[in-house]
């Protein structure tokens, strides 16, 4: 099994994916253990002083004015975890919980939090055992970190609350720890607060969304190319020299992908045949511009994610010179903005794909295709309602594109009076990515059927490879009306698992 070694820095997006989705084991480096011990020494020294230090010998948030006596500090750390584990709603996905736990461990190991080495080792042990705390949908405002989600994780480290075992069964966390020989942690000064104060949930979801979207944007280039073929459009608009004079990198990459997919097609270039067209509709002609803008948005989001992965997000933090200072680095605005930006790009990509699908089904705009791609129009409805489903998904995506980060709601008696709502932005982006997959699956279903209905003209080798693969995956081709939901579900899985891209790349080589 793959192992991820956590040091004081250098965690990558690939590491996050390996732990969250791949079940990779975690080891703590000697460098990290030394940094943990050194920072803990600073916290212990401050705890012994009579002067109050936030997070070490005081209360939290609006209660930070109270100095806590030494005999109450362990109780204080337990209490902050218990009281902050106040999430509600459905359970969050296992991969999200594993990502946020791993990212909190990454910051703990930076040596800036003051957490003892044994607490960090317990975090690694819980992940390695396949124990996943029960985390709920609601409870984070994306400021002071993802407080409630991280608190539910910290509760598991204490042997309290519920968690899911490696067999998928939810049980008391204490029982699961005992079965795996893991001793519950007894939190000391600052440790409870350090386990809760981070942007780890929203960052983990951003990293996973970027990985999914990298595949989906390639899929969108393929489905757009299929639709262009099916509509007998021209591929001249994809010429590199046209995109060179508007040098957005994403646009050039999408155009290059479409051109590679369409190489050798007999279906392109017929826009001057029976019903001459000067140019194709925007949804076809501007596909690289729209998909390319989304790709460039992803590039910006990836830069933000890389910076956040290199960060130590906590409050207060232990600095190399021995100071323990309060700060606002836990504010989720940088991550929240790009999560919202991606949701906008996803909605627009889905919208242009839906417009192409609608064009394929309309006999007045499809250039010779049967109405709704039906076998016997009137007796058969063809793909009419498949497009309805796609339109419903796009409408939902437009609602999900409304920025969560434009909102702020005060909390903690106005101490935390401006929040990022980054967790909410991440949650709706996950739904948006899920729905984009379905939208592209419907376009694939319609475009592949339409291409097969163009008798006498051969598609490009790459698009033919896609059609052959999707048919082998259980998605049927043209014919009389049938129960459509299973076909659409099979197309969804085909796109979701990256098999559309794999099929095409057997012909084109790696797409950009």
Q: Return all residues near 114 (Cβ < 8 A) that are at least 6 apart.
A: 39, 40, 42, 43, 56, 189, 190, 191, 194, 318, 324
| Contact present, 141 and 419 (Cβ < 8 Å) | yes
Whether 54 sits among the annotated catalytic residues: the reply is yes
The CA–CA distances, whole Å, from 202 to 96, 198, 391 equal 9, 9, 28
191 preceded by a cis bond (ω within 30 of 0): no
Closest CA to 368 of 290, 263, 305, 454: 454
CA dihedral 75→62→423→203, nearest 10 degrees, is -70
Give 151-175 as a DSSP string: HHHHHHHTT-SEEE-TTS-EEEHHH
d(CA 314, CA 197) in angstroms, rounded, equals 5
Question: What is the token pair recorded at 9?
Answer: 């820095």
| Contact present, 35 and 8 (Cβ < 8 Å) | yes
Phi, psi of 5 (to 5 degrees): -95, 125
Runs of H (alpha helix) within 180-313? 191-194, 200-230, 240-244, 249-262, 282-285, 287-309
d(CA 112, CA 310) in angstroms, rounded, equals 13
Length of the chain: 512
DSSP 411: B
| Contact present, 94 and 100 (Cβ < 8 Å) | no
Runs of H (alpha helix) within 313-421? 333-361, 384-400
Q: CB-based burial of residue 63 (10 Å sphere; 0-12 exposed, 13-18 middle, 19+ buried)?
A: middle
d(CA 503, CA 169) in angstroms, rounded, equals 37
DSSP 371: G
| Contact present, 483 and 393 (Cβ < 8 Å) | no
DSSP 137: E
Which residue among the candidates 54, 217, 282, 445 is catalytic per the annotation? Answer: 54
Catalytic residues, by residue number, are 54
């Amino acid at each position: 099994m793959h192992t991820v070694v956590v040091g004081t820095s250098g965690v990558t997006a690939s590491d996050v994916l390996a732990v969250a989705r791949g079940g990779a084991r975690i080891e703590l480096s000697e460098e990290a253990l030394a940094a943990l011990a050194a920072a803990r020494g600073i916290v212990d020294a401050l705890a012994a002083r009579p002067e109050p230090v936030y997070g070490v010998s005081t209360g939290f948030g609006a209660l930070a004015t109270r100095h806590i006596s030494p005999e109450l500090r362990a109780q204080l750390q337990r209490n902050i975890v218990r009281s902050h584990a106040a999430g509600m709603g459905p359970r969050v996905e296992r991969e999200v919980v594993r990502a946020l736990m791993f990212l909190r461990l990454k910051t703990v190991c930076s040596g800036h939090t003051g957490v003892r080495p044994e607490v960090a080792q317990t975090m690694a042990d819980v992940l390695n055992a396949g124990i996943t705390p029960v985390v709920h949908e609601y409870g984070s405002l994306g400021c002071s970190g993802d407080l409630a989600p991280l608190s539910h994780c910290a509760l598991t480290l204490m042997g309290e609350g519920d968690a899911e075992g490696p067999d998928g069964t939810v049980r008391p966390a204490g029982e699961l720890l005992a079965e795996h020989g893991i001793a519950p942690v007894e939190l000391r000064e600052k440790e409870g607060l350090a386990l809760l104060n981070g942007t780890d949930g929203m960052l983990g979801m951003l990293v996973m969304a970027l990985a999914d979207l990298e595949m989906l944007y390639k899929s969108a280039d393929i489905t757009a190319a299929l639709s262009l073929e099916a509509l007998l459009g021209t591929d001249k608009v994809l010429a590199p020299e046209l995109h060179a004079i508007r040098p957005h990198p994403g646009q050039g990459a999408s155009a290059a992908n479409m051109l590679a997919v369409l190489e050798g097609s007999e279906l392109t270039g017929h826009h001057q045949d029976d019903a001459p067209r000067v140019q194709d509709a925007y949804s076809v002609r501007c596909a690289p511009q729209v998909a390319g803008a989304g790709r460039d948005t992803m590039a910006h989001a990836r830069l933000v994610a890389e910076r956040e992965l290199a960060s130590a997000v906590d409050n207060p933090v232990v600095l190399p010179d021995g100071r323990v200072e309060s700060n606002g680095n836990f504010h989720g605005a940088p991550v929240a903005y790009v999560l919202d930006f991606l949701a906008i790009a996803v909605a627009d990509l889905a919208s242009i794909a839906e417009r192409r699908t609608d064009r394929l089904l309309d006999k007045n705009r499809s250039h010779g295709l049967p109405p709704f791609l039906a076998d016997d129009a009137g007796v058969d409805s063809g793909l009419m309602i498949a497009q309805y489903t796609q339109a419903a998904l796009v409408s939902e995506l437009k609602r999900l594109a409304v920025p969560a980060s434009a909102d702020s709601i005060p909390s903690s008696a106005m101490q935390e009076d401006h929040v990022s709502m980054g967790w909410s932005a991440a949650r709706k982006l996950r739904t948006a990515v899920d729905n984009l997959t379905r939208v592209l699956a419907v376009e694939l279903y319609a475009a592949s059927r339409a291409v097969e209905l163009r008798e006498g003209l051969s598609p490009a080798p790459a698009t033919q490879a896609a059609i052959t693969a999707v048919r082998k995956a259980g998605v049927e081709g043209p014919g009389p009306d049938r129960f459509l939901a299973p076909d659409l579900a099979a197309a969804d899985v085909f796109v979701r698992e990256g098999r559309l891209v794999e099929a095409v790349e057997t012909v084109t080589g790696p797409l950009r």
